Amino acid sequence: MEAKRIQTPLSDDVARRLRMGERVFLSGYIYTARDAAHKRMTEALRSGEGLPIDIKGQVIYYAGPAPAKPGTPIGSIGPTTSGRMDKYAPTLLDMGLKGMIGKGKRSQEVIDAIKANNAVYFGATGGAAVLLAKRVKACRVVAYGDLGPEAIYELLVEDFPLIVVIDCEGNDLYSVGPQRWSSMGHEDV
């Protein structure tokens, strides 16, 4: 199956067309945010402040970039375990976030929020941080610079390779994949 090419910001129509297990190449602007940035965003919302970025239709990559080497926009940038952001994700999805990139399973609450908001969860390959960095064309800190690699960075990516892990219907590759493998006569994973 050939990979789909998609652009940010993501529209409802694009999210609806993506299916669990599909490979995609994502281009456009995405934002990094890990635990500390998510905590700050939540605190800002609780205190009545707005978010430091407009997340409507956007994609957040759970990653903290390494420092850039001379002549490159960014250092290695591999995915962080997504479950650490599960307590924050439903609120951001309700506010218009359309996609998340990370690695690992998501809670049922996040899956329900993905379905309710016609969003998608993408998986990036862990261990391929140097290769993923080659798809980043520009990088700049846009919020919480004092957090260093945990700041919110805006990345311009071109053909960033991903897999649809959870589609907008709630189909979850981490659940379905092992079931399919098992039904083919293979040992449990």
Q: How far apart are CA 48 and CA 58, in angstroms?
A: 21
Cβ partners under 8 Å of residue 101, min gap 6:
30, 59, 60, 61, 62, 63, 79, 121, 122, 123, 124, 162
Nearest to 99 by CA among 184, 39, 16: 16
Residue 85 and residue 126 in contact, taking contact as beta carbons nearer than 8 Å? no
Q: Which residue has the tokens 């976030």?
A: 97
Question: Among 34, 38, 40, 98, which one carries the catalytic annotation?
Answer: 38
DSSP 50-65: PPSS--TT-EEE---P
Residue 36 and residue 147 in contact, taking contact as beta carbons nearer than 8 Å? yes
Separation of CA 37 from chain center: 14
Catalytic residue list contains 186: no
Residue 34 is given by DSSP the state -
Side chain identity, residue 66: A
Active site residues: 38
